[in-house]
């Protein structure tokens, strides 16, 4: 007993398919419902979803510093508000309950049938009620590609980029979980720079391959979180697709930045993979030159080796992989992002979301957006069914996946899948 939850030798009595993103070493958190019941907190091992409200109800999650009511809430915030030590203890308890030699749930037929459900019978919901959503711009390759395309390849990065994690405040109300389709947004564009703007469905709908993290409560307004303290304030990570309308964006963004080109929807994967579960995959990030200012320096490595990929499935066709990237390419780490975000005294709250910005790698097949993959539409992609794409078409489904793997343990996020429906016409 009390084997650490990340131990590679752990096995569960719940069957876990080979290459599953969800071995017993993962223990992610999500919000699930079934049979018309209200959504409740859940975890997942293999393709089995575990209802935490049932385990709490029979007292198996008592003594962790988490009230039973928190296990009946339709979002994880009620658990997260108790902080890292409590959620860490919960993950450890769940690990112990489902280890192969633990009979508590395994040999209790009634409890097992109540608490365990097959994934395909479950509806997954937005895991966290997000108060504030911030989007960074922390991939050097992405910022370089965009700067090269829209400004000057010789001076692709703006003067501030290597000195601070550039970001902006996004919109929380339009965050959606995997599986919820979006409609192509309409808006103003100016395709002819000598003519008046026009209105209509975006012609340049794009994905952005990102990873987001959720915060626990930060500090009171006016106090900052140092890079040494950030881990205590980070709950876990999700895959994140920050949908973008490039033609709307290029017309509207001056001088205050993205607005309607971004706020119509951003999609996230359903399972929050804890920072604790990803700890074995921590590695040094890119060398930072010039050395950041003191408040952005970190004592421990800040990157995580997480393979990321994007695929595009036209209506009725199989998915084609269009991008393979890695979270490790991110120039500015989560610790630096959070330290920078709060250095002026800005407070973060339980359930805030910080997204990485598009994560592009060094090679053209590792770019995390269609904008870069097709170089602004000049190099269309050919999909496996023979169709070409410059941007995302109606009927396309965009699928993001991500996983880390080491010592025979694979920790992943599952799938983030979003279908694009046609624009809604004016009545």
Burial pattern 309-329, b for ≥16 Cβ within 10 A else e, equals bbbbbbeebebbebbbbbbbb
The least CB distance from residue 369 to Ca ion, in Å, is: 9
**Under rule CB under 5 A, residue 372 binds Ca ion:** no
β-bridge partners, 12: 99
Instruction: Map the footprint of Ca ion across residues 192-211, applying CB under 5 A.
Output: 208
The DSSP string of 316-330 is TS--EEEEEEEGGG-
The least CB distance from residue 391 to Ca ion, in Å, is: 16
- Helix, strand or coil for residue 398? strand
Q: From the candidates 142, 233, 341, 403, give the one annotated as an active-site residue.
A: 142
Tell me the two tokens of residue 133: 């959503």
Q: Where are the alpha helices (DSSP H) in 64-139?
A: 77-80, 84-97, 103-106, 109-115
Tell me the two tokens of residue 77: 């915030």
Nearer to Ca ion by Cβ, of 359 and 404: the residue is 359
Nearer to Ca ion by Cβ, of 52 and 207: the residue is 207
Binding mask 397-416 for Ca ion (x = CB under 5 A): --------------------
Nearer to Ca ion by Cβ, of 333 and 360: the residue is 360
Residues listed for the chain: 427
Tell me the two tokens of residue 52: 């935490």
- Helix, strand or coil for residue 377? coil
**Binding segment (CB under 5 A) for Ca ion, from list 65-73, 127-135, 359-367, 395-403:** 127-135
The least CB distance from residue 241 to Ca ion, in Å, is: 9
The least CB distance from residue 107 to Ca ion, in Å, is: 48
Instruction: Map the footprint of Ca ion across residues 213-232, applying CB under 5 A.
Output: none
Nearer to Ca ion by Cβ, of 78 and 208: the residue is 208
Nearest to 175 by CA among 398, 353, 20: 353
Binding mask 18-47 for Ca ion (x = CB under 5 A): ------------------------------
Out of 242, 276, 352, 396, which residue is the one contacting Ca ion (CB under 5 A)?
242
Tell me the two tokens of residue 322: 């269009």
Sorted by sequence, the CB contacts under 8 Å of residue 80 that are 6+ apart come out as: 87, 128, 214, 216, 235, 350, 351
Out of 132, 135, 309, 352, which residue is the one contacting Ca ion (CB under 5 A)?
135
Nearer to Ca ion by Cβ, of 242 and 247: the residue is 242
C-alpha span between 249 and 381 (Å, rounded): 22
The least CB distance from residue 149 to Ca ion, in Å, is: 16
Nearer to Ca ion by Cβ, of 116 and 172: the residue is 172
Nearer to Ca ion by Cβ, of 146 and 339: the residue is 146
Measured at CB, which residue is nearest to Ca ion? 242
- Helix, strand or coil for residue 4? coil
The least CB distance from residue 355 to Ca ion, in Å, is: 6
Handedness of CA 62, 68, 72, 73 (dihedral sign): negative
C-alpha span between 310 and 325 (Å, rounded): 9
The least CB distance from residue 81 to Ca ion, in Å, is: 27
- Annotation marks residue 163 as catalytic: no
β-bridge partners, 405: 410
- Residue 43 has φ and ψ, to the nearest 5°, of -130, 180
**Binding segment (CB under 5 A) for Ca ion, from list 17-25, 239-247, 280-288, 328-336:** 239-247
Site size toward Ca ion, by CB under 5 A: 3
Whether the upstream peptide bond of residue 255 has omega within 30° of 0, thus cis, is yes
Q: Please say whether the beta carbons of 150 and 250 come within 8 A.
A: yes
**Binding segment (CB under 5 A) for Ca ion, from list 237-245, 304-312, 321-329, 375-383:** 237-245
Residues labelled as active-site residues: 142
State the residues that interact with Ca ion by CB under 5 A.
Answer: 135, 208, 242
């Amino acid at each position: 007993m009390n084997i650490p939850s990340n131990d590679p030798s752990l096995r569960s009595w719940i069957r876990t398919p080979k290459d599953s993103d969800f071995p017993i070493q993962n223990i992610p958190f999500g919000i699930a419902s079934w049979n018309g019941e209200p959504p409740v907190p859940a975890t997942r091992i293999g393709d089995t979803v575990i209802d935490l409200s049932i385990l709490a109800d029979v007292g198996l999650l008592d003594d962790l510093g988490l009230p039973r009511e928190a296990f009946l809430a339709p979002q994880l915030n009620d658990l997260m508000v108790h902080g890292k030590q409590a959620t860490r203890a919960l993950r450890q308890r769940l690990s112990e309950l489902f280890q192969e030699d633990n009979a508590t749930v395994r040999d209790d037929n009634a409890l097992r049938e109540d608490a365990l459900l097959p994934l395909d019978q479950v509806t997954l919901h937005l895991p966290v009620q997000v108060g504030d959503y911030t989007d960074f711009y922390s991939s050097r390759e992405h910022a370089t590609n965009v700067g090269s395309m829209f400004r000057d390849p010789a001076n692709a990065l703006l003067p501030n980029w290597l000195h601070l994690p550039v970001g902006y405040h996004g919109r929380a109300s339009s965050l959606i979980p995997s599986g919820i389709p979006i409609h192509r947004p309409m808006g103003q564009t100016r395709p002819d720079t000598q003519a008046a703007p026009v209105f209509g469905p975006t012609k340049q709908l794009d994905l952005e391959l990102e990873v987001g993290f959720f915060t626990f409560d930060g500090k009171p307004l006016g106090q900052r979180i140092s890079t040494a303290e950030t881990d205590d304030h980070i709950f876990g990570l999700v895959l994140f697709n920050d949908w973008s309308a490039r033609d709307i964006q290029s017309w509207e963004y001056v001088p205050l930045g993205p607005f309607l080109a971004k706020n119509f929807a951003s999609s996230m994967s359903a399972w929050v993979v804890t920072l604790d579960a990803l700890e074995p995959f921590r590695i040094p990030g890119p060398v930072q030159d010039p050395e950041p200012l003191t408040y952005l320096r970190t004592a421990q490595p800040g990157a995580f080796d997480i393979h990321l990929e994007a695929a595009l499935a036209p209506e009725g066709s199989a998915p084609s992989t269009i991008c393979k990237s890695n979270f490790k390419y991110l120039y500015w780490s989560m610790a630096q992002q959070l330290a920078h975000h709060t250095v002026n005294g800005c407070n973060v709250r339980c359930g805030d979301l910080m997204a990485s910005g598009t994560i592009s790698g060094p090679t053209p097949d590792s770019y995390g957006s269609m904008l870069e993959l097709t170089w602004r539409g000049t190099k269309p992609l050919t999909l496996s069914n023979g169709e070409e794409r410059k941007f995302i078409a109606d009927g396309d489904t965009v699928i993001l996946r991500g996983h880390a793997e080491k010592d025979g343990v694979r920790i992943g996020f599952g799938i983030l899948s979003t279908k694009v429906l046609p624009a809604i016409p004016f009545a």
